[in-house]
A and B are shown apart, each in its own frame.
Chain A
Amino acid sequence: MFELFQFIVRSRNFILFVLLEVLSFYFIINSNNYWSIRFFNTSNYYAAKIMAWSNKAQEYARLRQVNTDLAEENRRLNALVTQLQQFKPQAPTNYKTDSIFATRFRFTVARVINNTTQHPNNYITLDKGTADGIQPGMGVISPTGVVGKVKICSEHISIVTSILHSDYMISSKLVKSGVIGTAKWDGVDPTRMKMLDISRNTKMYRGDSVVTSEYNSIFPSGILVGRVIRVGEMPNQTFHDVTLSVGTDFNNLSFVYVVENKLQGEQEKLEKTTEPERK
């Protein structure tokens, strides 16, 4: 017994070292553990205060870019309004738009107070939370494209999983050929993405826009994901190797729109009822 005690005293540093490392790796591996969600992230009240404070100072330096983005968005919206007034939606003549379905998306403007682009898994912190109606699972878009999906919310802060995340996939559509595939980040360059599942029969156009598809339940359809910049052929594969330039400029992100789909719960509930049949 005494020898055991002596051993512990003698190698206490090593034991402490191993304990601390095990604790750290426990935190890393269970990245959704109670501690990391409740306290040790930027949704912590004090951490968020400090962030917002340091961000306020930096915002002045980015005003020019923000103004350009807003002007650009105004231009796009104006164009869209005219377009809608000019044309009726493309649909069979008997199709009537359901007004609740057509107005199912609600937008909330939020400010980015923390943002990374360099890690293999990136997150963005916003200054709005459950008090402003934001809930985990909502989509986030910027004036120039798709941003990500809300992961955690506290009362006044939310954390968003950016599309620059190794597990994030977006159902998206090539505008010119109308083919649907999956856009995914490969973890290297924050301005480049890959588009998967585009079969080799599809005709590809360089510079074609890639937008969110109608199959998305969290984003409205037609939000820009990126543009095709390179189409490669993989010799023994049935798919194109498509590289996109990301639409959103993640280095200059300051205001974003959180999208709430009011019918998402209803849709998921209904779709869930068919699940046992699929098996």
Chain B
Amino acid sequence: MTLREILNIIFLFVLYLSLQILIVRNLVLFDVAFCFMYVACILLLPAEMSLSATLLVAFVVGIIVDTFYNTLGMHAAATVLMAYVRPMVVRFQAARGGFDGRIVFSIHEMGSLNFFYYVVILTFIHHFTLFLIEANNILLFLPALIKIVASTLFTSVTIMLVQYFSRN
């Protein structure tokens, strides 16, 4: 990684975390669709970064978000799981012929559709874990499922929009 890439990543973290904490935290559609766009920090980490480092970064990001939601551990658990399955999802997509050569996670390098699949699959895994941990009760499974689907769509669309407008 070059210095430029590292600075780029740090900028990305500050941007997404402050967006999440200051603005998006209060953004809930119809009481079911939440936006956890901070997952994009992990999704956009370069593919060359070692898995151990990614896991640690994911844990720290999860704990920071937990601090602001008063839910110590929930976001951390979901984000670490998402970071752990990320290479598997990438390998699966590559096997399906999604992309070739050096993988750069951006909408311009991967194409809109491939990038959208990548975001939706990992966001779904994250939200599924998060809302199930939060529900913690079999009776709340159906409301949790509605929240999971609605929030996955909301978060993915937000990440796509930010990606569209961030470059150029």
Contact = CB atoms under 8 A, between A and B. Distances in A.
A86 interface: no
Select the residue from A31, A114, A117, A119 with max chain B CB neighbours within 10 A.
Answer: A119
B49 to A, nearest CB: 12
B143 to A, nearest CB: 6
B149 to A, nearest CB: 15
Given A20-B59, A47-B67, A120 B84 contact: no
A24 B26 contact: no
Interface residues of B, number: 37
A13 B77 contact: no
Interface stretch (B8-16, B95-103, B130-138): B130-138
Interface string B1-43: 0000000000000000000011100101001001000000000
A42 B68 contact: yes
Interface in B30-65: 31, 34, 51-52, 55-56, 58-59, 62-63
A17 interface: yes
Contact of A190 (B31, B59, B84, B134): B31
A54 interface: yes
Interface size class of A (residues with CB under 8 A): 35 or more
Contact of A25 (B23, B34, B73): B73
Given A16-B55, A21-B81, A187-B140, A50 B73 contact: no
Given A17-B55, A120-B136, A40 B26 contact: no
A114 B25 CA distance: 10
A42 B80 contact: no
A27 B77 CA distance: 10
- Most chain A CB neighbours (cut-off 10 Å) among B26, B70, B76, B137: B70
A27 B76 CA distance: 10
A64 B73 CA distance: 37
Contacts of B71: 28, 119
Contact of A120 (B23, B63, B67, B140): B140
Given A20-B59, A36-B72, A123-B70, 7 more contacts: A13-B51, A17-B84, A27-B76, A41-B67, A42-B70, A118-B34, A159-B70
14 contacts: A13-B55, A17-B84, A25-B77, A26-B73, A27-B66, A28-B71, A28-B72, A33-B72, A40-B72, A41-B67, A116-B70, A119-B134, A120-B136, A187-B140
Interface of A: 12-13, 16-17, 20-21, 23-28, 31, 33, 35-36, 39-42, 44, 47, 50-51, 54, 58, 114, 116-120, 123, 125, 159, 166, 187-190
Interface of B: 21-23, 26, 28, 31, 34, 51-52, 55-56, 58-59, 62-63, 66-74, 76-77, 80-81, 84, 133-137, 139-140, 143
